[in-house]
Amino acid sequence: MPIFEKPSLVTRIGIGKGVGFVVGLIGFFALPAFLPDASVMTRLGILFWYTTMGAIIGVFGVFTWHPVLRLPMPWWLRAPVIGAWLNFVLTFFAYDVMQAMLVATFGVDGVFASPFWFVLEGALVGLLIGYFATRFGGEGRALVNDIR
């Protein structure tokens, strides 16, 4: 049950964006420690990426069942899958930058040298965003059925 009186899609999206923004800020300020020559555009991209991830996870809180497979999709499954998928796509777009950062941090032969570790990171961030969005904004059809 959400903390607020009634579930709200706007509240859910706002909380998702807020948590994503905080994660993005952490990435914005921490990135120079891992990759000293990271451009401001890369850092801003990280900030906006996680804010957008929060908004998308917030919007998808309406769906508690898979529309085609008719299987339940609880928040703890839905949010990490969305976060992992978005970071999987991000890895394709920014593969070189992510690989340079991980090689600089862990070395060429390091266990974590593959940029695809960001997929796991996206799942964990998605889980965090999904928890707060569901806890404080609610989920399901109640988010959109009572719009006046």
* 51-73 pLDDT per residue, tens: 999 999 999 988 888 778 888 88
* 18-60 pLDDT per residue, tens: 999 999 999 999 988 888 888 899 899 999 999 999 999 999 9
DSSP 68: T
Instruction: Please enumerate in sequence order all residues whose Cβ is within 8 A of that of 72, keeping only pairs 6 or more positions apart, or say none.
Output: 64, 65, 66
Cα 12 to the chain's mean position, in Å?
14
Say how far apart CA 9 and CA 61 lie, in whole Å.
8
Say how far apart CA 92 and CA 72 lie, in whole Å.
30
pTM above 0.85, yes or no: yes
Measuring CA to CA, which residue among 100, 92, 80 is closest to residue 116?
A: 92
